[in-house]
Amino acid sequence: MYLLSIYAENAKTYVSGKFRFKKDHGKIRKWTQLSADPANRELLQLMALACGGTRFLHHLPFKLKQLCSHSSTPLQIEIILTPHSCDIRPSAPQLIGSGIQIYNEGKLKRLIRKNCRFLPSNIPIHDLGTRTGNSSFFLLAYGPEPQSHDQTDDFNFSNQFFRVTRFHSLFNNQAPITDPVAFLNRLHYKGVRVSRYPAIQTMQSLKQVFKEYLDVETGRWLDKMCNFKQEWSLLYPWQKRAILPVLDAARHMIDAFPRSGMPLNMPGLLLLDRPDLFCTEKIFPQWITLMDLLFPEIQFALTLSEKSRLNFPNKAQRKRLLLPAPLERIKTKPPARIPPRGILLLDIDSRLPNLALMKISRYFKEQGRKVVLARKESLIKNVEAVYASCVFFSCSSQKRIERLKKFYGESLILGGSGVDVGKRLPRKIEQLPADYSLYSELEDRAIGFITRGCPFNCPFCIVPVKEGKIQQVSTLDSLLEKDRHKLILLDDNILSHPGANDFLEEMAIRNLQVNFNQTLDIRLLDREKAQLLKHIRCSNLKFTRRVYHFSLNDTRNLEQVADKYHMSGFTTRDNVEFICMYGYNTTLAEDVERFSFLRSLPGAYVFVQEYQPIIEGPLPDLTGFFNGNTDALIDKLIRIIFPQNMKSMEKYYRWLSKRYAKTFGKLHEGLVNTIFRYNMRDRKGLYIATLAGVKKQNLVPKITGLPL
């Protein structure tokens, strides 16, 4: 984001007024200098508060009421900014407004439209930073005497209000910023030791500018065994003061833009109160040049003494930043219109194209009726008949059904496993081929059943109730219309059918790509089936790579599974995915045993699915889930690393960490750290607060307990 203007009313020192950043021809001034007086220092603080997000401001080490005038009218701050693509959804407008009200007693409110005095009526109002999101509305701010952590810094986002640390030194000189030695050690490890591109790029940039503009000896910084504690101790005090805010800014930009290869090149706003005090008078122009080069897309606003303003580098003063172009709005589809005598088909929750709806569509189209497909809970007026299919018996699906019933009344005809496991399509519709035009995303893929049913009676499974014993219901010829050579096969347990070998052989002869969507039972493989399976191009759902799908829902028959796996000749070059259900009747020890067993099989990896009860099905039985040395088992679990699809395991980790916290009243720190080791690290503090079962705003003290 770039800040375009700010309006304040009833501030204690700045009092009231408007400030506009100079811009012209689609560009804004990169460096905005303000005179060093109390009013402009407060103006920087007002900018930080307006951009900082109402959720976080109460956690500043500062009493907000200190900025209020002594009147009964609240301090009001309104701003106009222009967002970048990293700030907000793609359909956002080019300009947005925001603001806050602060009352004498310290009460804080977000600004709403009716209370605006400055913002134009055509600009939408947003509450900035309502989430812990890392990159949205990126703001940094520094006071004149930044102090650093000394072995107390937290790089793990365990504080859900960490965003406050990006600007808290502007309000409290004792608020510590980044520990320089700890940060350089982390950056060096990621960049030099493990060769991560963003880290090495940042390290090289810092090395270059510190050497050139601050006369820092950085020759050893890229050595694998560089000792940064020693390197830091060799610096002069003025060098340390000059470097501290630079390292802090680099640290927060790396954290905020983890997907960027050049994080220091990202846009944002940086506020500086008397940066001329960071270093000597002679060095100050060089420090500005350093910041100008290191952060090419950052907008700066700073207060300076008159002498420092005269010494400000002309080249930096002339710099302009290109304002973001108007963001392209996503065109929304107009509401579907149902022609007279038309039929509406509603796909409430399918993750795949809904085969039942495809057959219903074929039935009505053969009668000359028009058919329209809609998703989830589309509410369309004047519909003659609505056929809705619900696959899953979940809370969200049931809520949608209730809303649909209320809207459509008797026109709604419901079916699917999420509604009634015994309900069937009429035979004359079931026997029809699917209407592939209903789901254009299928392209050249076919979908359907060759067999239905399963000979086993697993209590958690819907198949015995819904489909009964194994039976053939179709052929490859009837499924593969036209030139379709890719097949999404929905069979419940095709290997259990007496004709399984014939089905597999025909798939191999036809050179089909097949996605065995409901997995295969590896226990039913013999040598002939295994050989046939290896000759079929078994694929993932998108048909982009070869994948074998099996299931492993408990620890029974692990030796048999291992024998069948090795008999099939799978190696580390194969992708063999095992679907593992959890949360039904296994213990933690059994889950760890399953995952450890799969990790021992070459080429195997896991995809976890939480048990979801079917209608009137058995509830989970987890009374003895933690039946051993729980901490040791979890420690073993998080050491089981699969070479792929570990994102799936995070689902299990989250489920387990919540159950652990509920059972033992504490967090398992190693498990929580594992969940956020690579993904969404900035949400760790919020997650911890959620597990702790306390109000989020009362979880963390005011940033290191600084005096207010």
User: How far apart, in whole angstroms, are the C-alpha atoms of residue 543 and residue 447?
Assistant: 13
HEC secondary structure over 131-193? CCCCCCCCEEEECCCCEECCCCCCCCCCCCCHHHHHCHHHCCCCCEECCHHHHHHHHHHHHHH
User: How far apart, in whole angstroms, are the C-alpha atoms of residue 241 and residue 280?
Assistant: 10
Q: What are phi and psi of 8, to 5 degrees?
A: -130, 145
Give the pLDDT band (50/70/90) at residue 325.
confident
Residue 35: helix, strand or coil by DSSP? strand
Please report, for residues 34, 162, 180, 478, 571, the alpha-carbon distance to residue 286 in angstroms, rounded to integers and kept in the order given: 19, 31, 21, 76, 59
User: How far apart, in whole angstroms, are the C-alpha atoms of residue 491 and residue 448?
Assistant: 8
Express each pLDDT in 449-500 by its tens digit. 999 999 998 888 888 888 889 999 999 999 987 778 899 999 999 999 999 9
User: How far apart, in whole angstroms, are the C-alpha atoms of residue 255 and residue 681?
Assistant: 9
Express each pLDDT in 242-299 by its tens digit. 999 999 999 999 999 988 999 999 999 999 999 999 988 999 999 999 999 999 999 9
pLDDT at 336: 59
Residue 596: helix, strand or coil by DSSP? helix
Instruction: Say which amino acid occupies 422.
Output: G
Query: Tokens 């939480």 sit at which residue?
Result: 610
User: How far apart, in whole angstroms, are the C-alpha atoms of residue 274 and residue 143?
Assistant: 7
Cross-strand pairs, 133:
none
pLDDT at 329: 53
HSE at residue 57, side-chain half, CA atoms within 13 A, is 26
Burial 627-650 (b: 16+ CB within 10 A, else e): eeebeebbebbbebeeeeebebbb
CA angle, 202 as apex, 201 and 207 as ends, to 5°?
A: 100
Cross-strand pairs, 269:
139, 299
Give the pLDDT band (50/70/90) at residue 42.
very high
pLDDT at 707: 37
Say how far residue 698 (Cα) sits from the centre of its chain: 25
User: How far apart, in whole angstroms, are the C-alpha atoms of residue 340 and residue 466?
Assistant: 35
Instruction: Give me 104's structure tokens.
Output: 């004498």
User: How far apart, in whole angstroms, are the C-alpha atoms of residue 677 and residue 666?
Assistant: 20
Largest CA distance in the chain: 92
Please report, for residues 48, 62, 177, 274, 351, the alpha-carbon distance to residue 66 in angstroms, rounded to integers and kept in the order given: 15, 8, 23, 20, 54
Sheet arrangement for strand 268-273 = 31-35, 298-304, 268-273, 139-142
| Residues constituting the chain | 708
Query: Tokens 């090419």 sit at which residue?
Result: 296
CA angle, 382 as apex, 377 and 388 as ends, to 5°?
A: 35
Cβ neighbours around 61 below 10 Å, total = 22
- Run of H or E including 471: strand 471-472
Helix 197-214 vs helix 180-188: crossing angle, to nearest 10: 130
Express each pLDDT in 83-110 by its tens digit. 988 777 655 568 999 999 999 888 899 9
Express each pLDDT in 532-578 by its tens digit. 999 999 999 999 999 999 999 999 999 999 999 999 999 999 999 99
DSSP 323: P
Instruction: Give me 310's structure tokens.
Output: 């005269």
- Run of H or E including 73: none
Express each pLDDT in 384-408 by its tens digit. 889 999 998 888 889 999 999 999 9
